[in-house]
Amino acid sequence: MLYEIRTYTFKPLRAAEWLALYKTEALPIQQEYLGELIGFFTTEIGDISQIVHIWAYKSLDDRLERRDRMAADPRWQAFGSKVKALDIFVRMESRIMRPMDFSPLQ
């Protein structure tokens, strides 16, 4: 199993706008295509302009296939256009992580 950890950094005080749009429009699409949401987090202490979410995949090929199908969905494209119009991101970081043999998450 592989885990994708995505960290979004927003312009100050703008994360709530994205989160409201994400919960209603993007999350249902991602759950349909990506499948296994491991966690979704906001920062309690530290950079409060960040949101992190983690998705599980069987392999890099599984991730690629799932994300390609999602990218082709007109609903996902419409969400992307709305996010772009908000102009709220500072940066987005995506990391693919592999658990160690003793990790509770495999």
Looking at every residue in the chain, the average pLDDT score rounds to: 95
Q: Any bridge partners for residue 56, and if so which?
A: 3, 36
Q: Which residue has the higher pLDDT, 23 or 35?
A: 23
Q: In the chain, what are the domains?
A: 2-95 (3.30.70.100)
Task: Tell if the pTM clears 0.85, that is, is over it.
Answer: yes
- Rounded (10°) CA dihedral 47, 50, 51, 52: -70
Res 46: pLDDT:
87
The angle, 0 to 180 degrees and rounded to 10, between the axes of the packed helices 60-71 and 74-86 is: 80
